[in-house]
Amino acid sequence: MLHVLEQFGRLLAICARAPGGRSQLLLLAVVIALELGAVYTGVRLVQWTGEFYSAIQKVDGPEIGRQIGIFALIIAVNSVRGLAANYLRKMLEILWRKSLTDHAIDLWTAHKAHWHMANAVNSRIDNPDQRIADDCRIFVTRILGEALDLIGRVVGLFSYLALLWGLSNFPLSLGFIGIDVDIPRYMIWAAFIYVALSTGITHLLGRPLKRLLSEQQRREADFRFSIARWRTASDEVALADGEEAEKLIFRNRFAAVAQNWRRLMRRELILGTFTFPFQHTVLRIPLFVALPGYIAGHVAFGGLMQLAMAFSNVVTSLSWIIFSYRDLSELVATSSRLDHFIQAARTATALRSNDLRTSRAGQSFQLVDLTLQTPAGRRLLSVSDLSISPGETVALQGPSGIGKTTLTKAIAGLWQHGSGQITKPDGSWSFVPQKAYIPEGDIIDAAAYPAPRGRFDNAAIEDAIRAVGLGHVLDSQGEKVCVNGKLDQLSGGELQRLAIARILLHKPDWAVLDEATSALDPASETAIFALLRNRLKATALIIIAHRLPEAVSELRVIELCHEPQPRSL
């Protein structure tokens, strides 16, 4: 329980410390005050019940009419209060959800944490998209709903207890084997005993719900991800006639969803065998408990109804766990998933290798005694000493599987497995992978990425796009070409040209091209490198490839190998 409360505290602290957190706490105070108004309404209705039924017992027509008017006024005021509380609570929900979502996204994207989390050995963080999009929403909705409900019930409990204490000022007389026992204010003790037993049974029957609800969220996210993954690879699946294989994957994923759903159904059925009758008898049991006092003549009919309503309110306040057990289980499961995600994002870059060091210094790029390994410890490639000067063009060549892409990740500061020293000079760096990422938006947005399009003139962006041979995309479809409308259906070669256009726009001091022209024919590849050298004379080009580009002037070639020394060709 303490661990769960600590998770709640950490997540709520994020909301409180976010921009506007103080004003949101003030809004929370207003919502709490409005919710507590329901307690006053409940107490007033208990009092009204006694007065109304007493008037009925006396057949006092004018008083009955007056009490009906009072009832209408109470309900009208309470309706306004309830609507205002609900509106302001939903406003607070979206503000807190924004704070949590922004915080989670900031941590996930800071210092490449998303990459480290996805590639960590034995990572237990699954479906980060689901944790950010769904868990933030569920946590805020549930924590606000249950916390406000709890506050209202606790305050209401004391109010209703005081009322019940004053009303039940008579004992319950019992006789057993010749022994007479008087239980003073028996309705107070009956309420606590009744709810304590009911709460224990509820927890015993519903305890597995937390695990099942968490597992259901994970399996639903896995199913959704498998469909989204196929959508992004529609061309590849269609060309491979892979629809039947993908259908099997979908069915297996959904079978896992349905399997856990059935377990959840069975557990909720078991829990419902107790909670369902409890919820439908909790309003009648108080009347049965109060009847001995009425039969003994301690209270009149109006007092009986007043006692029953006060007892019912006490039992309802004490039964918070019973009524909210499933929602509380979902809240605990969600807060655990979300808290683990945030903690993992915070520490994602902390477990770096002490043997592989990356620093910023000097004027040239240097690799010293560098050895890269797989997470299992298998050696990939080694470089004993390599220095690249600004504006130089260097090709790092090696066979497939030696770790060329891994070297790109190590230079970028991502790869952690290995030893040696990587020294990067100050200045701007751009990394161009074999397959360029296409963001949402039109071709202008895609060319300017990762900068916003407003950083460049549209004329400069269009010039770069035409320079790499993509003028036909602009001419035929213009800026309306977007990721959801065919930009992601450009050929592999066109995507690589688009990535080169980004380099032309950003003009980095250092550019690392990892198989960045592998989809181009030799003539096009030669033209692209000539374009880069002509327009970016001050940029150092580090070309990582399994084959050498043709006709590149002043090209220094380094052959990558497993042994710790490069050979210049």
CATH code: domain of residue 85: 1.20.1560.10
What is the SS3 assignment for 420? strand
Question: For residue 15, how many other CB atoms are within 10 A of its CB?
Answer: 23
Q: Tell whether 427 and 337 lie within a shared domain.
A: no
Q: Tell whether 339 and 488 lie within a shared domain.
A: no
d(CA 198, CA 215): 27
Q: β-pairing, 365-373 with 418-424? A: antiparallel
539, 519 Cβ separation under 8 angstroms? no
Name the β-bridge partners of 359. 423
**Residue 28 — left, alpha, or beta (φ > 0 → left; ψ -120 to 50 → alpha)?**
alpha
Give the angle subtended at the CA of 538 by the CAs of 534 and 539, to the nearest 5°: 85
d(CA 534, CA 220): 52
Alpha carbon separation from 320 to 208, 279, 283 (Å, rounded):
19, 11, 15
Q: Tell whether 278 and 368 lie within a shared domain.
A: no
Domain count, the chain: 2
Q: Tell whether 266 and 222 lie within a shared domain.
A: yes
Q: What is the pLDDT of residue 486?
A: 53
d(CA 188, CA 185): 6
Q: Tell whether 149 and 259 lie within a shared domain.
A: yes
Q: What is the pLDDT of residue 349?
A: 65
Question: For residue 298, how many other CB atoms are within 10 A of its CB?
Answer: 17
**Residue 24 — left, alpha, or beta (φ > 0 → left; ψ -120 to 50 → alpha)?**
alpha
> Does residue 169 lie in a domain region?
yes
Q: Tell whether 324 and 386 lie within a shared domain.
A: no
> Does residue 180 lie in a domain region?
no
Q: In this structure, what token pair is assigned to residue 448?
A: 């300017």
Instruction: Using the Cα atoms of residue 257, residue 263, residue 267 and residue 272 in order, give the sign of their dihedral.
Output: positive
Which residues, at least 6 apart from 563, have a Cβ–Cβ distance to it below 8 Å? 382
Identify the domain containing residue 12 by its residue range: 2-175+187-347
Q: Tell whether 35 and 87 lie within a shared domain.
A: yes
| Type of residue found at 539 | T
> Does residue 389 lie in a domain region?
yes
Prior bond of 433 cis (ω within 30°): no
Q: What is the pLDDT of residue 563?
A: 64
Q: What is the pLDDT of residue 27?
A: 95
Alpha carbon separation from 322 to 197, 275, 336, 561 (Å, rounded):
11, 7, 21, 66
> Does residue 181 lie in a domain region?
no
What string of pLDDT tens digits covers the 569 residues of the chain? 788 899 999 999 999 999 998 899 999 999 999 999 988 888 888 888 888 888 888 888 899 999 999 999 999 999 999 999 999 999 999 999 999 999 999 999 888 888 888 887 666 777 888 889 899 999 999 999 999 989 988 888 888 888 888 877 777 766 555 566 677 788 888 888 888 898 899 999 988 988 898 889 889 888 888 888 877 777 677 777 788 888 888 899 999 999 999 999 999 999 989 888 887 776 677 777 778 877 877 777 777 777 888 888 888 888 888 888 888 988 998 999 999 999 988 887 665 666 888 888 889 999 999 999 988 888 888 888 899 999 999 999 888 888 889 999 999 888 888 999 999 999 999 999 998 888 877 888 889 999 998 899 989 999 999 999 998 888 765 444 444 445 667 888 999 999 999 999 999 999 999 999 999 998 999 999 999 999 999 999 999 988 887 767 788 998 888 765 544 44
> Could you tell me how many helices (H) and strands (E) the chain has, helices first?
20, 12
d(CA 365, CA 392): 10
What is the SS3 assignment for 412? coil
**pTM over cut 0.85:** no
Among 293, 321, 347, the domain-final residue is 347
Q: Tell whether 248 and 386 lie within a shared domain.
A: no
Q: Tell whether 25 and 165 lie within a shared domain.
A: yes
Which residues, at least 6 apart from 382, have a Cβ–Cβ distance to it below 8 Å? 370, 371, 372, 561, 562, 563, 564, 565
Q: In this structure, what token pair is assigned to residue 167?
A: 């009303």
Q: β-pairing, 356-360 with 418-424? A: parallel
Q: Tell whether 286 and 412 lie within a shared domain.
A: no
d(CA 164, CA 182): 18
Among 315, 347, 379, the domain-final residue is 347
Q: Tell whether 424 and 306 lie within a shared domain.
A: no
> Does residue 89 lie in a domain region?
yes
Q: What is the pLDDT of residue 378?
A: 87
Which residues, at least 6 apart from 163, have a Cβ–Cβ distance to it below 8 Å? 43, 46, 310
Q: Tell whether 259 and 379 lie within a shared domain.
A: no
Q: What is the pLDDT of residue 565?
A: 52
d(CA 182, CA 174): 6
CATH of the domain at 421: 3.40.50.300
